[in-house]
Structure 1
Amino acid sequence: MKHILILLSCLLAPLSSAQILDKLSLPSGYEISYFAQDVDNARQMAVSANGIVYVGSRKAGKVHALIDDNKDGIADRKIVLAEKLNMPSGLAMKNGNLFVAEVSRVIRFSDIDLQLKRQAKSFDYDVVFDDLPDKRHHGWKFIRFANNGELLIPVGVACNICEEDPKFGRIFSLNLTTKKLTTVAQGVRNSVGFDTNPKTGNLWFSDNGRDMMGDDIPPDEINRVSKPQEHFGFPFVHGGSVLDPEYAKNKTLMDFQHFSAPKLALQAHVAPLGLHFYRGTHFPEERHNTLLVAEHGSWNRSKKVGYRVMMATIKGGEVTAYEPLVSGFLSKEQTLGRPVAFAELADGTLLVSDDYANAIYRIRYNNK
């Protein structure tokens, strides 16, 4: 019995950070390493012109700054800019200012690199918008600046399945001067990732499907916005093909043909979060403009799915291939990591955040 207990304890012992990296698989030529570790609940990232990586969190309530002083691809310093914030998951940079999205407001750290250079004991911020819903269920944000200079902000529905008022279930565009919110997309259950295709200007976003319909339905979604205020089906149609048993009772898909179907219907519960079009030139040419997808992984399925970084090839506005860049975060039902979001460094290497392992990974390509 003693030997059995010792064997079980060895099997259940947490893996070291090096062992986790050894478990990860990438295509030939790609290499992965740690850019930073011990970054509490690492979520969305933003990189300044000086190469400082800022990281938000969800449960931890913190915003970090990661500084690679010697430019070797590993952060040398970690600084906490703020803590005790309300799920500051979303970050974006503009004109040297760091914008952070909490549940009900957006705050701004002005000239944040300069504040760090001055070695400030505390970091100043101001509130730029505070009229977002305060419900925490699906209330954490992912933000980006659109090509027109406005800030894109999603507001997920405060439920599993419901028909919310117009303040929920949408992606909004915020004019920072007028403080006016404009609907970009509606019928969106909970998007925690989007990016604009640099070649076409179209916004692509992830959407997490409803729960409690079983292991295999409904699909999670990757969507493309092609017109203002486009409707993507929630709560009536899921994944473009699954009618909701409550909100679409006695209806057919023909009744909802005016709703837009996803460009890619994913496996149920893979939980796509961050999206990012690769803009650099460090990766091979065939990967330029590839759409990267962070599948955070399931929490409510009898057998886990997701837990990987995927690459979507897009041609003519359609997804023509969907294949893994990093897999191995799930090993025999044991969770080793949960990828969340992406950022690029100036050299074109890719950063991936992981809110389970509290880590930031760096992916590079070595054609040797």
Structure 2
Amino acid sequence: MTDVATIPLLRRPLFRPLAHFAAACLIGTLATDLVYWRTADMFWADASSWLVTIGFMLGMLAFAVGLIEVVARRPLLDPPNWVYVFVAVLTLIAVFLNVMTHTRDGWTSVAPEGLGLSAMTVALMLFFPRGRALARRPPGMVLAMLTVLATSAPFAFALKHADAAFDLSSQIGPNPALPEPEPSLLPHMRLAKVVGWGEGEKPEVAPGLAIAPLAQNLQHPRSLAVLPNGDILVVEAVAPKGHPIHRPKDLVMGLIESWATNGGSTGPSNRITLLRVGPDGKAQQSLFLDHLTSPFGVALVGGDLYVANTDALMRYPYKTGDLRIESPGEVLAPLPGGPIDHHWTKSLVASKDGSLLYVGVGSNSNVGENGLEAEKNRAAILEVERATGRWRVFASGLRNPNGLSFEPETGALWTVVNERDELGPNLVPDYLTSVKDGGFYGWPYSYWGAHVDPRVAPPRPDLVARALMPDYSLSSHVAPLGLAFSNGAGLPERYRKGAFVGEHGSWNRGELNGYKVAFVPFNGGRPSGKAEDVVTGFLNAQGEARGRPVGVAVDGGGALLIADDVGNTVWRVAAASQQASP
């Protein structure tokens, strides 16, 4: 039988080289943290995130191998020093907390907690060469242990959190309650598992309304456009693939997005389906336009149909009654696209006279953590000349503007905006707002006017000073993606003047929020009261997603249309006295 002492590879404990590699990564983390602290260059924050994550994984592997070697009583090992073991556990705890801290976005991923934890980790590692001497002095050992525990306790406490009791209705309206930020090492998160609609199931509607499916078995319907002849265009789209991975968190967020948006469909998407409703109220589906690149917005001006792909504004010839467009189209204007393309949807609306097109372009990050150069001409609404394709930034500081629509009474441009994440379950409220030419709405430097976001470096107090307040809060993390103004027909009187908002629903708070269509009443072209839940029931009793509303539109009869991207359905809502299908 072979004696392990004769095997060269086993003459030294395997955990030592693993521990050395882990230590190198963790020392490197401190170095890159210091560089980021001095430069605010996100390259160094990303480097820290990778180094601390790899260091933690190698450290865990070294610890596991070391325990196995001790248990196996390998003859070449010295007896275990349990002081080492104790400090190794404390070091791994500190490194884990540091991994979680470095998942934050922006400046606070490093300063101050990340930098402090990196320094603490290196200090703990420096303990090991003097471990035997300290072990022979119990008072000193106890003092060191208590010091480490006391220093780690605040970070460990930060791992525990729950959504505080908070009245979400206090955030609906023009003056929302804004609690203090609640950053945490483990982000507030709850994902609604997608289960789809069962046989005969449908959303619930407010009294006086009726709902029925207009089209089913679609492939991620995201937005809707009603043509003058009554035909309905359904934009079916999925996110572009191939986003670059800058840090470990990007891998996790990609999985979360896939989980949250998977509707169980496997057919082709990135296309437009035309619905033509017959006298019997049933909609005939036909493939209208395909070979698109993650499309979202659609606008018809005369004989030109415009489609906002994620990377370009396209123009196609159209004749009334067309069931299919065969033309490859032409690019009117390029749009900010990849390679990151964090918020890829591009909302689209035409001015009343048709001379201008407005395109909503979302940010490339949560709060600029991919570098502000990646945000060029993003988090903005672009104004494009239809005749020439020339464009300019119409308004900025809008993290992810969607549902661009003109309010019918005043002619003002309005949008719904998805605000930033990871300041806690009750910040920051998403909102509905009019958009002023040249207006700046705060992102990424501030939210809801002058509330500064400390994660963004360097700060810009000059921009914060001129940040405009949004008009109407919808509450935090509802993810509004659709907006349509009512046209005064087809629905009960109370819905004749106002805006319908499609709320896709939250993923980053413990208590789910959104997953509904709300109605905001208007008077004199302005919001004039509390929002009302019009269509609910997209979540079942177990908190699973049967559907998720995205785009909304009003058809020629004044009924409300809803694109449900995980239920793969277009729903039609009308007065209960009428048929829910036209």
Shorter-chain TM-score tier: 0.7 to 0.9
2:381 and 2:413 map into 1 onto residues whose CA distance is 11
Deviation at 1:250, TM superposition (A): 8.1
Q: Does 1:182 find its partner at 2:182?
A: no
Residues 255 and 84 (structure 1 numbering): CA distance in 2 closer, same or farther, change over 3 Å?
A: closer
Letter in 2 for 1:330: L
Paired letter, 2:438: Q
Q: Say whether the 8 Å CA contact 1:277–1:292 is kept in structure 2.
A: yes
Partners of 2:512 and 2:496 in 1: how far apart? Answer: 31
Shift of 1:166: 4.1
Distance in structure 1 (CA, Å) of the matches to 2:531 and 2:400: 22
Deviation at 1:35, TM superposition (A): 0.6
Is the CA contact 1:104–1:130 (under 8 Å) kept in the aligned structure 2? no
Q: How does 1:98-137 map to 2 (within 5 A)?
A: 98-116=305-323, 123-135=326-338, 136-137=341-342
Task: Note closer, same or farther for the CA distance 1:248–1:255 as it changes in structure 2 (3 Å cut).
Answer: farther
Instruction: Determine if the alignment matches structure 1 residue 48 to structure 2 residue 227.
Output: yes
**1:119-268 equivalences in 2 (<5 Å):** 123-135=326-338, 136-149=341-354, 150-162=356-368, 163-164=372-373, 165-225=375-435, 227-240=436-449, 242-247=451-456, 256-268=464-476
Cα RMSD after superposing both structures: 2.4
Quote how far apart the aligned CAs of 1:84 are: 3.8
Shift of the 13–295 alpha-carbon distance from structure 1 to 2, 3 Å rule, reads closer
Q: 1:18 aligns with which of 200, 222, 228?
A: 200
Offset of residue 85 of structure 1: 2.0
List runs of 5+ in structure 2 lacking aligned partners: 1-193, 239-268
Query: Which whole-Å CA distance do the structure 1 matches of 2:311 and 2:233 have between them?
Result: 20
Q: How many aligned positions are there?
A: 346
Residue 25 of structure 1: CA displacement? 2.2
Q: Distance in 2 between matches of 1:17 and 1:42?
A: 20
Question: Partner of 1:27 in structure 2?
Answer: 206
Aligned pair partner of 1:88 in 285, 288, 295: 295
Give the counterpart letter for 1:309 in structure 2.
Answer: V
Shift in CA distance, 72/144, structure 1 to aligned 2, threshold 3 Å:
farther
Matched residue of 1:18: which SS? coil
Give the match's secondary structure for 1:298: coil
**Identity across matched positions, percent:** 30
- Equivalent position of 1:325 in the other structure: 534
User: What corresponds to 2:98 in structure 1?
Assistant: none
Higher alpha-carbon Rg = 2
Letter in 1 for 2:301: K
3-state DSSP class of the match of 2:200? Answer: helix
Which whole-Å CA distance do the structure 2 matches of 1:339 and 1:46 have between them?
15
Q: Contact (CA 8 Å) 1:49, 1:96: kept in 2 or not?
A: no
Which is strand-richer, 1 or 2? 1
Mean Cα displacement is larger for which, 169-178 or 232-241? Answer: 232-241
* 1:278 paired residue number: 486
SS across alignment from 1:214: coil
Counterpart in 1 of 2:77? none
* 1:33 CA displacement: 0.2
| Local SS of the residue matching 1:142 | strand
Structure 1 residue 40: Cα displacement:
0.9
Distance 1:348 1:161 in 2: 39
Cα drift, residue 248 of structure 1: 7.4
Mapped partners of 1:55, 1:349: distance in 2: 16
Q: After superposition, give the CA deviation of every residue in 1:74-132 in whole Å (9 maximum; x if it has no partner).
A: 312x222333421011112222432211011122331254442xxx6x62141142421
| Contact persistence 1:106–1:129 (CA under 8 A) | yes
**How far is 1:234 from its partner?**
0.5
Structure with greater helix share of residues: 2
Q: TM-score, normalised by structure 2?
A: 0.56
Cα 1:306–1:13 shift into 2, 3 Å: closer
Cα contact 2:347–2:361 (8 A) shared by 1: no
Would you say the 8 A contact 1:220–1:239 is kept in 2? no
1:162-188 per-position Cα deviation (integer Å, ceiling 9, x unaligned)? 145541111011111121213221101
SS state of the match for residue 300, structure 2? strand
Q: Give the whole-Å Cα distance in 1 for the aligned partners of 2:288 and 2:459.
A: 53
Match of 1:7 in 2: none
- Asked whether the 8 Å contact 2:274–2:286 carries over to 1, the reply is yes
Please say if residues 161 and 210 of structure 1, whose CA atoms lie closer than 8 Å, have aligned partners that are also in contact. yes
Does the aligned pair in 1 maintain the 2:195–2:544 contact within 8 Å? no
Equivalent AA in structure 1 for residue 484 of structure 2: H
Contact 2:516–2:538 (CA<8 Å) still a contact in 1? yes
Gaps of 5+ in 1: 1-11
* Paired residue secondary structure (2:346): coil
Shift of 1:15: 4.1
